[in-house]
Structure 1
Amino acid sequence: MLASCARYLDVKPDSSLAVPKTLKDLQAILDNETRRNTSYAYAGDVAADYYYLLEADFNRLNDAFDARNIYLWAPDASADRDWNNLYLNIFDVNVVLEEAGSAEAGNLTETDRKRIQGTAHFIRGWCFFQLAQLFAVPFDSGSADQSLGIPLRLSPNIEAPTTRSSLAETYQQIITDLSRAIDLLPTSSPVAVRPDKAAAHAALARVYLIMGDYQRSLDHANAALELEDGLMDFNDLDPLATKPIEVLNIEVLFHAQIPNGGGGFVTPRARVDSVLYASYHDADLRKQVYYRQNADGTYHFKGDYGTNPGIPFAGLATDELWLIKAECHARLSNADLAIESLNTLLVTRWEKSEFIPYQATDADEALQLIIAERNKELAFRAGIRWSDLRRLNKDPRFAKTLTRSMGSETYTLNPDDARYTFLIPANVVQQTGIEQNAR
């Protein structure tokens, strides 16, 4: 499976994995922050449309990330690092799941054993989901049984044959892992670098939204919000601060970040899309909290929920859940409930004296408002925009043709383009014989 990194087949990736005998050993594997919290998929965000690069900044991108090709949607763009990082993560948690049932408790408890197993299921399901957003075609319930998904590694045996599951099987495994996580995880976690039930419900809310199963997505969004529904009031933030939003703030359910994507998100390189910036009302505090003006009059993003605006937050947060809840209500023809959920979020984002609650005459109008607010609220939120483009491109109301200019060339990505699915690493295909994605 991990033939994409040959040396990985020759030695264990970390000495701590050699002889895990106790629950404490397994917890140490899960607490490897580099693997568990800062190695999520970056390619979709490098390719997303909420920012652009000037030619000088484009030329500074790190070749090791293949960021230039990804940024320009090159047919042979390589997201190999995302593949490797995510499957290494999956290998780690498969070790944990294999050993957790028999590991010595030591100074931990059976409750800790359940939490460790739940965390491993959460991480595996979340990594499978991230992989599916890059290396499998967008989900379509009508063709999911016939479409290719990703390899589902469910044990740490690196010699097991590698095959691609169907897209339906891929999403079913994601759902199975995250559902198991809900059963095993505690109701709350002392720190959001470890998931809890609310985080697992939030993850499933996003998964079901991508699948177009709006009732189940709504159910899990509600379940998460029943546990943790806090929202920051942007009226209480300092919009002039270099970083107005704290790490691990009350909205964060699970903290995660991506690698820097080759340096493209380093401020002020990533210039905010001008149409996106212009979409914020002057009384919308996100316009000041999220963005700062550059010397040339353009803007860069500073409103990240993570540690550094140049390394986008890739976790789960309650603001996304309120938007999921709103969208699901609109999709289910509940316009009033959709707008009510949207306003619950927006009243915390606008100047209090200026906010006039949104209204909609029907569910379609509500949906249009909600999708527009998703773009504004979740800009520079890693792992979301690329998935949104893929799913919304199937709806003529929201399909979008992307264009970028570099030098004298203009590059285009059409809504139905095969490049919305990245190529599987070539050496994985060569060594395993699995089918490559179409071009």
Structure 2
Amino acid sequence: MKNILPALAWLLLCLMNFSCEGFLDEKPQKSILVPESALEYQAILDNYTRVNISAPLPFIYSDDFWTTEANLLRLSPWHQQAYRWSMNPYSTGEIPEDYFNVYRKIFTANVVLDKLAENPRWSKKDLDDLRGKALFWRAHGYFELAVLFLDHPKSASSEGRRIPARLSSALNAPVGTLNSQQAFELILKDLEAALPLLEPTTQYPTQPSVFAGYGLLSRIHLYLGNYDQAMEYGLKVLEGNFKLMNYSSLNMNLAFPIQNFNAEIILFTTMASISVVAANNTAFIEPNLANSYEAADLRRRLFFSNSAGFLSFKGNYTGRSEVFTGVALDEVLLNLAEAKVRTGSISQGMGYLNQLLRNRIQNFKDLELSDPTLALASVLDHRRKSLVFRGLRWMDLKRFAANDSKVMVLERMSGGEKVTFETRPEHMQVSIPSNEIN
């Protein structure tokens, strides 16, 4: 990204980087300047490696993959604990990348918002653009934290989990805490304030547009069980210039058949770099899931390949082994289908599902379901098949448990023993790292 200003961004964000031990002890130099121009602050928000990343824990906790015992032992201790569904996977004093990286994203947004609070003499266009993007990324970060570390609002108690609230980049600023309800009030407030400021198109899909805002709001409201709002924002996404890929036109013999920045992508983000977890020779697809795809279903051929005698995933929307966690048109259509069915508009909901499946299944004949239970089951079945390896499964399991009282029992083998996990709401909050609590 040519707009990234590595030196200035590094200096500003170094305060959050563990490798900068002793940074605060160094004598300031006049040659080290604080960013001042709108372009420099735009570069900070465009720093893809610090902003456009998502936590890997939701992927590890999901039932999207399994691995062998030999592969498991290659992972870091907290990855191994998470694989066994420990909700307290961290060692004492450890601040792992899930927690650190998401708060660094929030810190980055707050750096820009703090500067804007000084009323710099920049153009209105620059001010609006920076404010919209910073609010978007702060909301994005807090949503990730809420899904991982907080109760779902539908099952939260007054004494529920809390996370630190950072609304300023100043290191000496007071730090409060947010419970689940307060966190989502902040998330929705930030995103709704960002919408009128975001542009409909951006130079790169790594930069948030107004349609990325609509797509993220559709995802969030689906999680909360606010189906009317999930529909409202999903429909707004359809006004954008996004198109479904016809999977039959892709070369399924390629190692990674789906290009990054393809026509379906609304916002491009990826899982933080833990390639050893998601690598082709490490993360294998559960046979029952793989066998649930029909013979004519192009998703099976496009998504899965044989690796070391097991099925691994190759259908990333990144064109590489990195797991895509962004917002794409297929997810939005599935949001619309589910929200429509859940609110009684079954025919319209099936219409959105059929629109997707015509581009996913050979010789597809439209589904014509009128029973709400069967229609919802069909939508959720295809959501599972379409959004595998997207980092969304843990979010879905958590909302099913809270909104629908649907508890699933997940199973894995570890150390020669079967490990099980019940997706009850009270089981699905990760503990804040002990070092942060202290």
TM-score surpassing 0.5?
A: yes
2:190 aligned with 1:188: no
CA distance in 1 between partners of 2:404 and 2:169 (Å): 43
Q: Secondary structure at the match of 2:35?
A: coil
Q: Secondary structure at the match of 2:86?
A: coil
CA distance in 2 between partners of 1:4 and 1:92 (Å): 10
* Structure 1 counterpart of 2:233, from 208, 220, 240: 220
Instruction: Kindly provide the amino acid, as one letter, of the partner of residue 377 in structure 1.
Output: S
Q: Aligned pair in 2 of structure 1 residues 319, 144: CA closer, same or farther (>3 Å)?
A: farther
Which aligned pairs between 1:87-102 and structure 2 lie closer than 5 A? Answer: 87-100=103-116, 102=119
Q: Aligned pair in 2 of structure 1 residues 280, 337: CA closer, same or farther (>3 Å)?
A: same
Percentage of matched positions with identical amino acids? 28
Contact 1:134 1:422 in 2 (8 A): yes
Which aligned pairs between 1:421-432 and structure 2 lie closer than 5 A? Answer: 421-430=429-438
* Structure 1 counterpart of 2:140, from 120, 126, 129: 126
Partner of 1:292: 305
Instruction: Kindly provide the amino acid, as one letter, of the partner of residue 323 in structure 1.
Output: L
Which aligned pairs between 1:230-245 and structure 2 lie closer than 5 A? Answer: 230-245=243-258
* Structure 1 counterpart of 2:340, from 329, 332, 336: 329
Instruction: Kindly provide the amino acid, as one letter, of the partner of residue 50 in structure 1.
Output: D
Instruction: Kindly provide the amino acid, as one letter, of the partner of residue 384 in structure 2.
Output: N
Q: Which runs of 5+ in 1 are unaligned?
A: 431-439
Partner of 2:361: 350
Deviation at 1:236, TM superposition (A): 1.0
* Structure 1 counterpart of 2:328, from 308, 313, 317: 317
Deviation at 1:19, TM superposition (A): 1.1
Residue-by-residue CA offset, 1:60-104 (whole Å, 9 max, x unaligned): 1134xx211111112431373211111111111111011135334
Partner of 1:200: 213
Contact 2:303 2:315 in 1 (8 A): yes
Contact 1:20 1:99 in 2 (8 A): no
Which aligned pairs between 1:16-415 and structure 2 lie closer than 5 A? Answer: 19-37=34-52, 39-63=53-77, 66-78=78-90, 80-100=96-116, 102-105=119-122, 109-140=123-154, 143=156, 147-261=160-274, 263-296=276-309, 298-309=310-321, 311-351=322-362, 354-382=363-391, 384-394=392-402, 398-415=406-423
Instruction: Kindly provide the amino acid, as one letter, of the partner of residue 60 in structure 1.
Output: R
Instruction: Kindly provide the amino acid, as one letter, of the partner of residue 269 in structure 1.
Output: T
CA distance in 1 between partners of 2:102 and 2:76 (Å): 20
Q: Secondary structure at the match of 1:193?
A: coil
CA distance in 1 between partners of 2:281 and 2:384 (Å): 20
Contact 1:330 1:367 in 2 (8 A): yes
Contact 1:233 1:349 in 2 (8 A): yes
Q: Which runs of 5+ in 2 are unaligned?
A: 1-13
CA distance in 1 between partners of 2:286 and 2:48 (Å): 32
CA distance in 1 between partners of 2:76 and 2:32 (Å): 31
Residue-by-residue CA offset, 1:372-430 (whole Å, 9 max, x unaligned): 11110000002x11100111124668431111111322211112164421110111101
CA distance in 1 between partners of 2:225 and 2:22 (Å): 42
Deviation at 1:24, TM superposition (A): 0.9
Contact 1:62 1:263 in 2 (8 A): no
Q: TM-score, normalised by structure 2?
A: 0.89
CA distance in 2 between partners of 1:319 and 1:189 (Å): 20
CA distance in 1 between partners of 2:387 and 2:313 (Å): 12
CA distance in 2 between partners of 1:412 and 1:237 (Å): 38
Q: Secondary structure at the match of 1:52?
A: coil
Residue-by-residue CA offset, 1:283-340 (whole Å, 9 max, x unaligned): 11111111112241x211001011422x201111111000000000011011101100
Q: TM-score, normalised by structure 1?
A: 0.89
Q: Aligned pair in 2 of structure 1 residues 210, 250: CA closer, same or farther (>3 Å)?
A: same
Q: Aligned pair in 2 of structure 1 residues 249, 68: CA closer, same or farther (>3 Å)?
A: same
Residue-by-residue CA offset, 1:111-148 (whole Å, 9 max, x unaligned): 232111111111000000000011101231x7466634
Deviation at 1:261, TM superposition (A): 3.4
Q: Secondary structure at the match of 2:266?
A: strand
Q: How many residues align?
A: 415
Partner of 1:434: none
